[in-house]
Structure 1
Amino acid sequence: MSFEDRLVRPARPKSPGLAVFAGVVAGLAFLMMLVSVALGGNSGLIAIRSVAHPVLFGLVFLLAATTSVVAAVAERRAAIITASAGGAAVAVLFAAARIIDAGSYDEPDRPYQSPDGRYVLVVDHWSAMIDPMWDLVLEQKSGATSRYWRFGCVNGDYDGLSSVRWVSNSELAITVDDGEKRVKISAAGPGPVDPALRSCRGSYS
């Protein structure tokens, strides 16, 4: 063997199988991220709501895409280290989020069904540290195409939620400290909504 041959380093082993697998995972995660954003936000299909986690799917997409690229151009060990480190980082982020949420509490949801049974207003009473909050979510019952609208949230720092009742099949009466607020319901969802029913930070449907 010549001196020049001994200077040539052997090509590093690639991992095409791992690259393809990680690429498929990245594609599925990206698709689920788009579905979560489009159909699982403050309004959308009830069937999608339980699996709509755009941040989680976005992180999985970035991790899988990075692993796919590393597996295609570097050693298998580097790809495994990348996937392991990224997975650990995602786990730490969600563990930190759970710790932050430890100071809040949830009470059982309180459903209020319309007289004809087509709609249900779900009042989710929870707490952000010491502040009581009431999420207002309207659900339309129509089988596989059942929809929901998160149309309001009452912040206990500004108003307390006193009572909820259906005036008719298409109108709600929600009483807060500021008085009774009426919300009309149509096929497009609830609205218009009084600002007193949107005193929490965030966006609504």
Structure 2
Amino acid sequence: MAPYRRPLACVLIALAVVLVATVLAAFRWGGPDGGLVVLDQVGRHFVALGWLSLAALCGAVLLGVRRPMTRVTVGVPVLALGAPVMCIVSLLAMLDGGQERAESLPAPGRDDRRLVVETGSAMIDPLWFVYVHQGTWPRERRWAVGYFNGDATDNELREAVWTGPDRIRLTTSGGVLHEVTVAPGGRPDRTVSAGW
């Protein structure tokens, strides 16, 4: 066996562990309720990170195991379990549709707070997600302000604006106004939901 194969296999295993730990950290410390924005962005790529982890594990088996029969004994279960799981996860992620940033409005008189509106879809229904981002990168945090499901046109988000450095007004297509107050740390006093 070539002398570089075992150390390279160890590097591939370490890479797989780091990728999985990164995804777990993103789901633990990212998200809409005070989570770190940078980890939320990493968490959105969990499918790609999962496929890379599986490829790294398969490469480690091919490089690190000497005997062909042992290679098959270890490699087939890894691939037989990992590939179907990742295919299902990939399919579910495609059906989810994801979210895209539509607007980012700085708070008046503050450079450390932004109102972010993201759009998405649930099959055919348009969705809007409204967040407050507080702080600067890499410690910028994200707080959920509102969720709007356009299944009924009256629930569509028509406008999301700052009315002050700590006040947000959300308006639906049906004309319903929602006022939300943001605490000094960035947390809104409530999360608005329309059509959910």
TM-score, L = length of structure 1: 0.66
- Give yes or no for contact 2:23–2:42 (8 Å, CA) kept in 1: no
Task: Show CA shifts across 1:82-136 (max 9, x none).
Answer: 23333422442244235534xx586651122211232111111222122221101
Specify the alignment match of 1:192 in structure 2. 189
By how many angstroms is 1:29 displaced?
4.4
Report the CA distance between 1:153 and its aligned residue: 0.7
State the identity %.
Answer: 23
Task: Identify the match of residue 37 of structure 1 among 27, 34, 57.
Answer: 27
How has the CA–CA distance of structure 1 residues 180 and 200 changed in structure 2, closer, same or farther, with 3 Å as cutoff?
closer
After superposition, where does 1:50-65 map in structure 2 within 5 Å?
A: 50-52=41-43
Task: Tell me the SS of whatever aligns to 2:92.
Answer: helix
Q: Structure 1 pair 128/84, CA: closer, same or farther in 2 (3 Å)?
A: same
2:124 to 130, 146, 149: 130
Tell me, yes or no, if structure 1 residue 79 matches structure 2 residue 74. Answer: yes
Distance 1:108 1:191 in 2: 20
Deviation at 1:137, TM superposition (A): 1.5
Alignment pair present for 1:110 and 2:96: no
Q: How far has the Cα of 1:76 moved from its partner?
A: 2.0
Taking the aligned partners of 2:186 and 2:135, their CA distance within structure 1 comes to 12
Determine the structure 2 residue equivalent to 1:180: 177
User: Do 1:154 and 1:198's aligned partners in 2 also have CA atoms closer than 8 Å?
Assistant: yes
The equivalent of 1:10 in structure 2 is: none
Contact 2:180/2:188 (CA < 8 Å) preserved in 1? yes
CA contact (8 A) 1:36 1:54 kept: no
Cα deviation digits, residues 25-74 of structure 1 (max 9, x gap): 5643453244123211223112222212697578959x95xx98xx7xx8
**Ranges in structure 1 where 5+ consecutive residues have no aligned partner:** 1-15
Moved over 3 A (4+): 16-27, 53-61, 104-108
Give me the whole-angstrom Cα distance separating, in 2, the residues matched to 1:124 and 1:92. 27
**AA aligned opposite 1:50:** Q
Query: Could you state the TM-score of these two structures normalised by the residue count of structure 2?
Result: 0.69
- For 2:27, the aligned partner's letter is V
CA distance in 2, matches of 1:187, 1:139: 12
RMSD between aligned residues: 3.8
Contact 2:162 2:168 survives alignment (8 Å) = yes
Indicate yes or no: 2:162 matched with 1:149: no
For structure 2, the 5+ residue unaligned runs are 1-5
Secondary structure, counterpart of 1:189 in structure 2: coil
Residues 129 and 148 in structure 2, CA contact (< 8 A), matched pair in contact too: yes
Aligned residues: 180
State the distance in 1 between where 2:10 and 2:185 align.
Answer: 43
Residue type of the alignment partner of 1:47? V
